Structure 1
Amino acid sequence: MTLYIGREASKLWKRVCAEVTAEITLLSENWKYLLAGLIFQYIHGLAARGVHYLHRPGPLLQDVGFLLLPELGIDKAYISETLFTLIFISFFLWTFHPFILKSKRIYTVLVWCRVLAFLVASQFLRIFTFYSTQLPGPNYHCREGSKLATLPRPESALEVLLINFPRGIVYGCGDLIFSSHMIFTLVFVRTYQKYGTRRFIKQFAWLLAVIQSFLIVASRKHYTVDVVVAWYTVNLVVFFIDKKLPEMPDRTSGASLMLPLTSKDKDSRNKEENHKLLNGNSGDPTDRRQRTQVNGKNLEDGNTGHPDNAMNGV
């Protein structure tokens, strides 16, 4: 038993080391995209903090979701945040599962490059939207009479740049259309829908996204329009950007062959292919078709009967 555990532990360690090596290679080539995505997360937080200075509390707007869904109240508002935290942590851990599990289809670095691209595009649209019109916040700390509903004029630029993290994020007001929680939830669910392997988990993830939508409205953190706009905007953003991004390699067909080439490897391969072409070799070992010479020139497939087939002056 001890021998078996030791052998399995050794295999796991080798797998982790191999995965770390592969991911470091990818990280060295894609760190700029990851860093840019992380920096924009701060910019998004900064924009949300800035619109809080513009927020003016007022009476709640008429909302269908508020009429249909019972209000959870302040004491139960944590339910929505708890579910969102569960979705966030679950997705984060799933992106690192190739380091441990044998059945792996993704590279962690490449997945997060795509996820951050989706988040940045959605958040960019969100910033333009909530700065266009500031609605009176429906959350409890954003209503009339709350000290947190309005922010005093900042005394220095540093006060704005620090965004009072994390309290300034949790108790923000004015950044309503559209829901940031739904941006993250839908991006995570759609990513797992494409690259995940468990059908049951995919269906369950979509169910959690729907439940999250209802809880956000029931907690009075957003109006229903904030959630509805998030549903079609984020899905459209992910759809169109995913079409523009290069497809990720499927690791089930061989992980080592799917690693992108470094610039040095690309130059070496290009030189090798050019050398083979200059020597009359296509470089493809499976290409063994007989070539016929006409007027001292090589023709493929033996097409010698028509003068248009001759390669004159080449």
Structure 2
Amino acid sequence: MTLYIGREASKLWKRVCAETTTEIYLLAENWKYLLAGLIFQYVHGLAARGVHYLHRPGPILQDVGFLLLPELGQDKAYISETLFTFIFLSFVLWTFHPFIMKSKKIYTVLVWCRVLAFLVASQFLRIITFYSTQLPGPNYHCREGSKLATLPRPDSVVEVLLINFPRGIVYGCGDLIFSSHMIFTLVFVRSYQKYGSRRFIKQLAWLLAIVQSFLIVASRKHYTVDVVVAWYTVNLVVFFVDKKLPELPDRTSGAALLPLNTKDKDSRTKEENHKLLNGNSGDPADWRQRTQVNGKTLEDGNTGHPDTAMNGV
């Protein structure tokens, strides 16, 4: 039993080391895209912080979702955030599964490059939208009478740049159309739909996205239009941006992404030259035994009739 555990631990450690080497190579080639995506996450938070200064509380707008869905109440608003946190952490952990799992179809760095591209495009459209028109926030801390509904004038630029993370993000107002929670949820679900392997998890992910939509409205964090616009905008963004990006390499073929070193290249060149000198190509289908008759080389299929070939019939 101890020997088996030790052997499996050794295999796992080798798998982690090999995957780490590959991912470091990919990170060295794609770090600019990852860094740009992460910087834009800060820019998005900064924009949401800025629109909070412009927000003016007012009467809650008439909303079909508010009429159909019962209000969860301020004491149960955490349910929506809990589900979103579960979806977020589950997807992050899944993107790192190639380090420990045998069955793997993705490269972590390349998947996050695509995910950040989808997020940046969607968030850019979101910034334009909520700065175009500021609606009175339906959330409890954004209503009339709340001290957090409008931020006081900042004393310095540093106060704005710090964005008071994470409190400034959680208790933001004015950044309504369209829902940021649904951007992350739909991008994650669409990514797993394409690169995931478990059909049950794909179906569960879409179900959780629908439940998340209802909980956002029921907790009065967004109007129904914020969720509806997110559904078709994010899906369209992912559809069109995904067409512009290069497809991920298929790991099932076993092809390595790491470049060959000089020694490997020399050995492979010598092996190919040796095959050519012996009359064999690199294709295993050509490695067939041939019989020479009267100076002519015959295939295996003709070796059964040497006399016929010799008589010219």
TM surpasses 0.5: yes
**Offset at residue 266 of structure 1 (A):** 12
What are the superposed Cα offsets for residues 30-64 of structure 1, whole Å, 9 maximum, x if unpaired? 00000000000000000000000000000000000
What secondary structure does 2:54 align onto?
Answer: coil
Work out the CA distance in 1 between the residues paired with 2:293 and 2:278: 18
Shift of 1:252: 1.4
Structure 2 distance, partners of 1:17, 1:270, is: 28
The Cα shift of 1:249 comes to 1.1
Larger Rg belongs to: 2
TM-score, structure 2 normalization: 0.84
Deviation at 1:200, TM superposition (A): 0.3
Q: Distance in 2 between matches of 1:230 and 1:311?
A: 79
Match in the other structure for 1:60: 60
Kindly indicate whether the alpha-carbon contact (under 8 Å) linking 1:304 and 1:310 is maintained by their aligned counterparts in 2.
Answer: no
Distance 2:180 2:224 in 1: 13
CA distance in structure 1 between the aligned counterparts of 2:263 and 2:51, rounded to whole angstroms:
47
Distance 1:313 1:272 in 2: 38
8 Å CA contact retained: 1:177, 1:225: yes
Contact 2:293 2:306 in 1 (8 A): no
2:51 counterpart SS class: helix
Equivalent pair of 1:290/1:302 in contact (CA under 8 Å): no
**Structure 1 144/284 Cα, relative in aligned 2: closer, same or farther at 3 Å?**
same
Change (3 A) 1:68 1:109: same
Residues 50-86 of structure 1: CA deviation (Å, up to 9, x unaligned) = 0000000000000000000000000000000000000
| Cα distance in 2, alignment partners of residues 309 and 55 from structure 1 | 96
Query: For each residue in 1:179-234, what CA deviation from the matched residue of structure 2 results, as whole angstroms up to 9, or x when unmatched?
Result: 00000000000000000000000000000000000000000000000000000000
Structure 2 spans left out of the alignment, 5+ residues: none
1:305 Cα deviation from its structure 2 partner? 35
Distance 1:101 1:58, change over 3 A: same
Counterparts of 1:72 and 1:178 in 2: how far apart (Å)? 21
Distance 1:253 1:22 in 2: 16
- Once the two structures are overlaid, the 10-residue window that deviates more, 277-286 or 300-309, is 300-309
Secondary structure, in 3 states, of the residue corresponding to 2:66? helix
The secondary structure found in structure 1 opposite 2:297 is strand
C-alpha separation in 2, matches of 1:229 and 1:264: 56
User: Could you tell me how far 1:256 is from its partner in structure 2?
Assistant: 1.8
SS of the residue corresponding to residue 213 of structure 2 reads: helix
* Cα gap change, 1:306 to 1:244, in 2 (>3 Å): farther
Question: Once superposed, which parts of structure 1, at least 4 consecutive aligned residues long, lie more than 4 Å away?
Answer: 259-314
Note the C-alpha offset of 1:275: 18
CA distance 1:282–1:214, shift in 2 (3 Å)? same
Shift of 1:174: 0.1
Q: Name structure 1 gaps, 5 residues minimum.
A: none
**1:159 paired residue number:** 159
Counterpart Cα distance in 1 of 2:189 and 2:198: 12
Distance (whole Å) between structure 2 residues aligned to residue 177 and residue 294 of structure 1: 82
Please give the root-mean-square deviation of Cα atoms over the aligned residues, in Å. Answer: 6.7
> 1:303, CA displacement in angstroms?
27
CA drift of 1:147 comes to 0.1
Equivalent position SS for 2:185? helix
Among all aligned residue pairs of Structure 1 and Structure 2, give the percentage whose two residues are the same amino acid.
90
